[in-house]
Chains A and B, each alone.
Chain A
Amino acid sequence: MNAFKELYQYRELLKTNVRKDIRGKYKASFLGVLWSFVNPLLQVLVYAIVFPYIMKVQTDNYLIFLICGIIPWTWFTYSISNGTTSITNNANLIKKVYFPRVILPISVVTSGLVNFLISCFIILIFVLLGGVGLSWHLVFLPFIALIQYIITLAFTLLLSAINVYIKDVEYIIAFLINMLFYATPILYSTEIFHGSWLVWIFKLNPLAHLISAYRDIFYVHQVPQIFNLLILLLVGLLILIICYEIFKKLEKRFAEEV
């Protein structure tokens, strides 16, 4: 409970950090904040041009199918890769001032969330222009985003703390994220592996569940797998608590180790 009270007291720091993340990152560039949306769009464009040719994708509206996967994925990778270095990159602050250290990873995941929510408008534009249309299933969006926030935050807390002690983590993570991208049904649908043992990868991969839920509400227009999502929520909360406790243990020597 004390932890929440302290976080609440430092809410302004969280807000300014998020603002700095979103605005400060591209401050010197011509397009500014727009880059955070242009980047995933360009990525989508590359896949949308390349994959139908080399993989003979049969999916209808492949572009929209892709966007529903790439935009949540961007939030996840942004948070993990920037979150992992959030403590080490702020070594100066950590050594000089006291503030709740968890603020740093939390603000990375939160600014990712803000970007994601704005990017959802891009999905909506594509969905409308692509003729897929909208449906009432969008009401599930906050619930799915909440689960993704919890799971992402848990991993970010853990990785940011370990990275202080073992600097290799950030490089290992870059590789793992690359692997995970192909182990998550972003470019393809899980149905092409129907009946294969590979399905287990998707069953154990939380992102696979999340992305298929996003697709359910934006693209397929059906109620997502509520039971799966509830289990994901419970497991997410459990690992969040564990990762937070590990963070609390490790944070005591941050100022000496960064």
Chain B
Amino acid sequence: MNNDVAIKVVNMTKSFKLYSDKANTLKERLVRGWKNKPEIRTVLKSIDLTISKGETVALIGVNGSGKSTLLKLMTKIIYPNKGTVKTNGKLTSLLELGAGFHPDFTGRENIYFNAAIFGLTKEEIDQRLNEIIEFSELGDFIDSPVRTYSSGMYMRLAFSVAINVDADILLIDEILAVGDQHFQDKCFQKLEELSNSNKTIVIVSHSLGAIEKLCKRAIWIKDGEIAMDGNSNKVIEAYLKECA
């Protein structure tokens, strides 16, 4: 793969098996036998996509069009049925904030748990610890158990960890709505800063206004296919026209 390319998707198809009622236990499998043929739904159809290093790209489309599935394929949470998805560089995905948080442990301890899931070592976390705590603006609460946090505080801590991982590629799924207005602005600023510093960002969002400001390129996904790919102003305009 060319060194300037961050993500390359070649002729990739992903389909899910849909069971009307999934046979999860042995009994169900034995009783129904293998007659219960699943329905196969193709969510993404032969997608070809190249994202270069340093690009900030938005994925837009209506609910269920396959945007989040595409992000999950890029993270390697799921794998394609056909074709390939290749990524180049350290990758972090913010599909859900606070993965691996343990409610009984303090915010500080949870920073370690959460950052470890992203593949950071102890030393790397130590280096970033102050920055993470500062960014979260949790103050003294950082040493209280996470179960005592409000949902806003929880999200702030989680976002601060994820954003400070220092990945080359950042995949973000609809989480711009974190915390209060002040914190949202701060997150947005941080993302702008990252996108200017040669990081690759792929973002799924319905906040078209924010996307238009943040991304130069937008990809419109419609029924599992790329309907349009190009300058974000133009793509969003065409998308809004279709939705109206």
The residue in chain A whose Cβ has the minimal distance to the Cβ of B24 is: A167
Whether B113 contacts A16 by the Cβ 8 Å rule is: yes
Whether B116 contacts A97 by the Cβ 8 Å rule is: no
Distance A66 CA – B100 CA, assembled complex (angstroms): 39
Whether B102 contacts A99 by the Cβ 8 Å rule is: no
Q: Mark B112-127, 1 if CB is under 8 A from A, else 0.
A: 1101111111100100
Distance A99 CA – B114 CA, assembled complex (angstroms): 12
Q: 8 Å CB contacts to B: which residues of A1-57?
A: 9-13, 15-16, 20, 24, 27-28
The residue in chain B whose Cβ has the minimal distance to the Cβ of A23 is: B105
Whether A93 contacts B116 by the Cβ 8 Å rule is: no
Count CB-based A-B contacts (< 8 Å): 75
- Minimum CB–CB distance from B77 to chain A (whole Å) comes to 5
Interface size in chain A (residues, C-beta < 8 A): 26
- Minimum CB–CB distance from A91 to chain B (whole Å) comes to 11
Whether A255 contacts B117 by the Cβ 8 Å rule is: no
Distance A27 CA – B106 CA, assembled complex (angstroms): 13
Whether A98 contacts B76 by the Cβ 8 Å rule is: yes
Distance A99 CA – B116 CA, assembled complex (angstroms): 10
Residues of B within 8 A of A11 (CB): 121
The residue in chain A whose Cβ has the minimal distance to the Cβ of B113 is: A16
Residues of A within 8 A of B79 (CB): 252-253
Whether B105 contacts A24 by the Cβ 8 Å rule is: yes
Contact for B116 among A15, A92, A167, A253, CB less than 8 A: A15
- Minimum CB–CB distance from B228 to chain A (whole Å) comes to 29
Contact for A93 among B29, B99, B104, CB less than 8 A: B99
Whether A9 contacts B78 by the Cβ 8 Å rule is: no
Q: 8 Å CB contacts to A: which residues of B73-102?
A: 75-79, 91, 93, 95-96, 99-100, 102
Whether A96 contacts B104 by the Cβ 8 Å rule is: no
Distance A109 CA – B77 CA, assembled complex (angstroms): 24
Residues of B within 8 A of A95 (CB): 77
User: Is A60 an interface residue when CB atoms closer than 8 A count as contact?
Assistant: no
User: Is A168 an interface residue when CB atoms closer than 8 A count as contact?
Assistant: yes
Q: Mark A151-187, 1 if CB is under 8 A from B, else 0.
A: 0000000000000001110000000000000000000
Whether B121 contacts A96 by the Cβ 8 Å rule is: no
Given A93-B99, A98-B93, CB of A10 within 8 Å of CB of B119: yes
Contact for B77 among A10, A15, A168, A255, CB less than 8 A: A255
- Minimum CB–CB distance from B6 to chain A (whole Å) comes to 16
Whether B78 contacts A255 by the Cβ 8 Å rule is: yes
Residues of B within 8 A of A10 (CB): 116, 119
Residues of B within 8 A of A12 (CB): 112, 115-116, 119-122, 125
User: Taking beta carbons and an 8 Å cutoff, which residues of B are in contact with A?
Assistant: 16-17, 24-27, 29, 72, 75-79, 91, 93, 95-96, 99-100, 102, 104-105, 112-113, 115-122, 125
Instruction: Show 21 A/B contacts (Cβ-Cβ < 8 Å), sorted by A.
Output: A9-B119, A10-B116, A11-B121, A12-B112, A12-B115, A12-B116, A13-B117, A20-B102, A20-B105, A20-B113, A27-B104, A93-B117, A97-B100, A97-B118, A98-B91, A98-B93, A99-B117, A167-B24, A252-B79, A253-B78, A255-B72
